[in-house]
Structure 1
Amino acid sequence: MGGQTIGEVDVAGPDADVAALLRSRTEPECFAALFERYFAALHGYASRRLDGAGGDDVAAETFLIAFRQRDRFDPARGSVRAWLYGIATNLIRARRREEAQGCLAYARAAAHPPDEPVHDERTADRVTAEAAGKRIVAALAELSAGDRDALLLVVWGELSHEETAAALDIPVGTVGSRLHRARRKIRAALDDVDPSRPTERTARHG
């Protein structure tokens, strides 16, 4: 099945992304292929990280910067997709106050959950799920910026370890280390919500 064609550029995969970007250096209209393919995904990623605020601005600015800097893109350093997510992540970092406010709002809710009566098993499951979600976001707020970037690029951006490394301009091994630390803290947050979940310690000694 062929890929979508925009401005006579096939945007079916990474190689086509590079072709579209390189061609856009002399034919700017070809850059539209990348906008059409990645804007929605980048908008969703930015909106989730900024708690809905600023997603439009970050996504639009990402493509504005990418277009202006398209002559600087080096295919040897990673995919176009990773390059775009790297730009978006840098813009989100610049808005860290907005991101922190969103995380802290969830963290406060997790620390002071509403006193809701539990009438049945379905309600109990829903309350537990909501508490887990809030605990996860609270744990995200406590991660270092580097660990949070790596985790959310993989989980929300759906980038591979190699793409994440390219986006953050770090070694792939560092991505693995950051993910390990971040996931350990997320698991600890979930253990706090559901004491029946086996912790790493009980799993080793159980």
Structure 2
Amino acid sequence: MTARLRLVDPSGAISDADLVEASYRRPERFGELYDRYIGEIHAYLGRRLGQEAADDLAAEVFLTAFRKRTTFDRERGEVRPWLYGIAANLIAVHRRTETRKLAALRRSAAAPAGTDHGHEERVVSRVDAANEQARLAAELQALSDGDRDVLLLSALGELSHGEVAEALGIPYGTVGSRLSRVRRKLRAALGGVNPLLGGSDG
């Protein structure tokens, strides 16, 4: 009875850690984690790389997680930061795709009103003016890979500082210092606009 209770969190749902463990014996149980997180992982990849790349890479995130599930540390609790970490590693392999998307956004800012910018608009949904979009895209493109990952995991993935640290395997303090530095830089470049300030500090 104790073991059964351990499988359930206060909301009545089976915990991530217990689903991972259950999938050792019954691999199909991993599909419950897929259902739980595919939407947000796919959306995050789409905002960074575009819809077509997201369609391919979202499945790869979960395939990689499934193959590595025995290495998941159940003390982490949720698999969410772990999945975002896998996504970040896959994005690193597709940096050129992201760079092309940012370059396209810079060009699209000069397009006539009513042009459908697709996912590029969502990446900068907090910045309204077309010229600010172009400037933001340029600044994002100029960031180091590590700084961009920290910023976009926080802003687009809405991960907390602790989750970003876990996803990228860096110290908690590094997340805070990088975010502070990058946000100051972006605010200065955009004339005081506070772009991409999603995520919590918890």
TM interval, shorter chain, is 0.7 to 0.9
Q: Aligned AA for 1:174?
A: T
- Give the aligned partner of residue 144 of structure 1: 144
- Give the aligned partner of residue 173 of structure 2: 173
Compared CA separation, residues 25 and 115, structure 1 to 2 (3 A) = closer
Q: Aligned AA for 1:146?
A: G
CA RMSD between the two structures? 2.7
Please, which moves more after superposition, 165-174 or 78-87? 78-87
- Give the aligned partner of residue 123 of structure 2: none
Paired residues of 2:45 and 2:87 also in contact (CA < 8 A): yes
Paired residues of 2:17 and 2:77 also in contact (CA < 8 A): no
Paired residues of 1:14 and 1:79 also in contact (CA < 8 A): no
1:75: Cα distance to partner? 2.7
> How many angstroms apart in 2 are the aligned matches of 1:175 and 1:36?
29
Question: Is it true that 1:135 corresponds to 2:131 in the alignment?
Answer: no
1:22: Cα distance to partner? 1.4
> How many angstroms apart in 1 are the aligned matches of 2:80 and 2:190?
32
Q: Aligned AA for 1:149?
A: D
Return the structure number with greater relative CO, CA threshold 8 A, min gap 6.
2
The 3-state SS of whatever aligns with 1:54 is: helix
> Aligned runs of 1:23-62 on 2, under 5 Å?
23-62=22-61
Compared CA separation, residues 10 and 73, structure 1 to 2 (3 A) = same
State the TM-score, normalized to the length of structure 2.
0.77
> How many angstroms apart in 1 are the aligned matches of 2:13 and 2:73?
13
State the TM-score, normalized to the length of structure 1.
0.75
Paired residues of 2:165 and 2:171 also in contact (CA < 8 A): yes
- Give the aligned partner of residue 20 of structure 1: 19
Over 6 Å off, 4+ runs: none
Larger-Rg structure: 1
Paired residues of 1:14 and 1:80 also in contact (CA < 8 A): no
Q: Aligned AA for 2:131?
A: A
1:79: Cα distance to partner? 3.2
Compared CA separation, residues 115 and 25, structure 1 to 2 (3 A) = closer
Q: Which runs of 5 or more residues in structure 2 are unaligned? A: 1-6, 114-126, 195-202
The 3-state SS of whatever aligns with 1:43 is: helix
Number of residue pairs aligned between Structure 1 and Structure 2 = 174
Paired residues of 2:57 and 2:90 also in contact (CA < 8 A): yes
1:87: Cα distance to partner? 0.2
1:39-95 deviation digits (Å, cap 9, x = unpaired): 011011001101334001110000000001100111335631000000011001100
Question: Is it true that 1:81 corresponds to 2:80 in the alignment?
Answer: yes
Compared CA separation, residues 108 and 36, structure 1 to 2 (3 A) = same
Compared CA separation, residues 166 and 14, structure 1 to 2 (3 A) = farther
- Give the aligned partner of residue 159 of structure 2: 159
Paired residues of 1:132 and 1:190 also in contact (CA < 8 A): yes
